[in-house]
Amino acid sequence: MRPPTPIIERFLSKINISTTHFYKNTACWEWIAWINKNGYCHITLKGKGILTHRFIYEYWYGELTPHLTIDHLCRVRHCVNPLHLEQVPYRVNILRGETLAAINSRKTHCKRGHEFTPENTYSYPNDARGCRICINLNARQRYAKNPEKEILRYKTYLQKNRDLINRKKRETYSNNKLKKQE
């Protein structure tokens, strides 16, 4: 019976140096074994499946920091080149990617061309953002189409959010009062 192959030799036997994918003039190490439907690859270690990019990062750089994820800087999910991997917070990893959230976060202007400035940007409770000019324009257009419906909608909003509105008014009043005292 032959001795078991060391894990790193097994690992290296399953990569191919890419001729098409590069990051900062270094080729991707493409995994040629099993790749899941999301484009990530796994290796079995001590009977447990682990993601290959996490394995090589830990092998190359040392222990992984809890609560951080591994970002593929080259954007190739099956790349296992440790020079293309970086530990970052989950939010950073998502915003660097090509998801809808990442694409929208990089936008500097709304779809009508208004710049996203602090004064012109409305932050929704779900962390989305909107252009105040467009929000107001849409509200005016809705009102012009059906004023009765919009008045009813506004009254309903006021009834549902009376406490929130009054709290914000008090905060604004307090802040203005403090500014005058300074």
pLDDT for 138-155, tens place per residue?
988 888 888 888 888 888
Residues 134, 172, single domain; the answer is yes
Length of the chain: 182
Residues 32 and 76 in one domain: yes
Q: Is residue 35 part of a domain?
A: yes
Distance CA 182, CA 66 (A): 45
Q: Is residue 123 in some structural domain?
A: yes
Whether residue 180 has pLDDT greater than 80: no
Domain CATH code at residue 17? 3.90.75.10
Indicate left, alpha or beta for 127 from its phi (over 0: left) and psi (-120 to 50: alpha). left
User: Which domain range does residue 167 map to?
Assistant: 105-181
Range 121-125 average pLDDT: 85
Sign of CA dihedral 52, 58, 61, 65: positive
Residues 48, 86 share a domain: yes
Q: What does 33-88 look like in DSSP terms, one character per residue?
A: S-B-TTS-BEEEETTEEEEHHHHHHHHHH-SPPTT-EEEETT--TTB--GGGEEEE
Whether residues 36 and 14 fall in one domain: yes
Residues 123, 151: Cα–Cα separation, whole Å: 24
**Which residues touch 22 (CB under 8 Å, ≥6 apart)?**
28, 74
pLDDT of residue 143: 82
Domain count, the chain: 2
Question: Looking at the predicted structure, is the pLDDT value of residue 46 above 70?
Answer: yes
**pTM as predicted:** 0.64
Q: Is 15 helix (H, G, I), strand (E, B) or coil?
A: strand
